[in-house]
Amino acid sequence: MKEAMFYKKLKNKKVKCHLCARECEVLEGKTGFCRVRKNINGKLYSLSYEKVISAVPNPIEKKPLYHFAPGSQSFSVASTGCNWRCKYCCNWNISQGEIQGEKISPEELVKMAKEARCEGLSFTFTEPTIFYELSYETAKLAQKAGLYNTWVSNGYTNPEPIKKISPYIDAVTVDFKGSGNAEFLKNFAFVPTSEPIYRALLEWKKQNVHIEITDLLVPKVGDSMRELKQLVRWVKDNLGEETPIHFLRFFPTHLVLDLPETPIETLNKAYNIAKKLGMKYVYTGNVEDEKVNTFCPKCQKLLIKRLWMQTIEYKIKEGKCPFCNQKINIKGEKWIPKSLKVED
Ligand code: SF4
């Protein structure tokens, strides 16, 4: 347990948490919506600090991050709790289950990441915002040790916390669900509005952190192509046409077992729309086809080949296409394993 960052004391031992867009006012003895920030005698505490529920190496492609340190291994850290309540959460047992975890310090996490031969860390599986203090302390130490740090987030973090942690975060994946459709978010994730996600993205961009976007397309309730077009246009206009965007396939899980898997045609439709609107790097995810690979947006040659969420070939040279010299949006090249680089 550690005193929380980003809260204010109010009258009668009440506190207001400013960490995420929910802005909970928490009464003495109670927790906020995320269940892991508790008001104890007028002070807010993070209950998830050093309570680690997951600490495992993962390919960076699983986050998904396709344009950051491809082929690297990312030590993936999570604690319990979440500031959303997605009915379709595939990690619901840790995000919405009992608060638990092993006591592991930031120092130990960095040591474990190095021992596991990972090139960096990812704060992932549950929402890193709600274990901010653990993520912040660990990211600082990891950076000092020469490792990268990434966040996989629902985008509900307030701008100030983003600004504070950004110097230590190299890349972020922000996950949309149902293209940010208001009805869908309200009914399936108990999220009142998607506006804070856009605000957070603008802050990550301002802080110069590499951004990738995912959009989970849920059949019937979160697969409107009209909403999807709006999202893609916003990303293009505000983050740029070079921002990688991934359309993810939904599989029935947790409380949403009565909807089918996303048809491949829906993913292909989304892919084609984003391409037509001018996005340079578009992917489909949770499916195995050509659209998981990276092609040069100018000469269309294959630049990064992936298989089952792992990079197996990497041809980009010093950030450029080796065939036509086109500049490619690729970050974290220093962490790419040498064994991956293909000589022509
Ligand atoms: S981090 Fe938790 S307590 Fe703070 S505003 Fe968000 S949901 Fe509420």
Question: Tens of pLDDT along the chain (344 residues)?
Answer: 899 999 999 999 999 999 999 999 999 999 999 999 999 999 999 999 989 999 999 999 999 999 999 999 999 999 998 998 888 787 887 777 788 899 999 999 999 999 999 999 999 999 999 999 999 999 999 999 999 999 999 999 999 999 999 999 999 999 999 988 899 889 888 898 999 999 999 999 999 999 999 999 999 888 999 999 999 999 999 999 999 999 999 998 888 788 889 999 999 999 999 999 999 999 999 888 899 999 999 999 999 999 988 999 999 999 999 999 999 999 999 999 988 866 55
Which mutation among 5, 17, 39 tests ligand 1's pocket best, with the greatest number of atoms within 8 A of CB? Answer: 17
pTM of the model: 0.95
Ligand 1 centroid distance, CA of 17 (Å): 6
The torsion of the CA quartet 284, 286, 287, 292, rounded to 10 degrees, works out to: 40
CATH 3.20.20.70, the chain: domain bounds? 51-292
Cα gap 17→158, rounded to integer Å: 10
**Looking at the domain 51-292, which fold is it?**
TIM Barrel (3.20.20)
Q: Which residues of 121-151 are buried (b: 16+ CB within 10 A; e: fewer)?
A: bbbbbbbbbbbbbbbbbbbbbbbeeebbbbb
Give the nearest ligand 1 atom to 37 CA: 3
32 lines ligand 1 (CB under 6 A): yes
User: Which residue's alpha carbon is at the smallest distance from atom 5 of ligand 1?
Assistant: 23
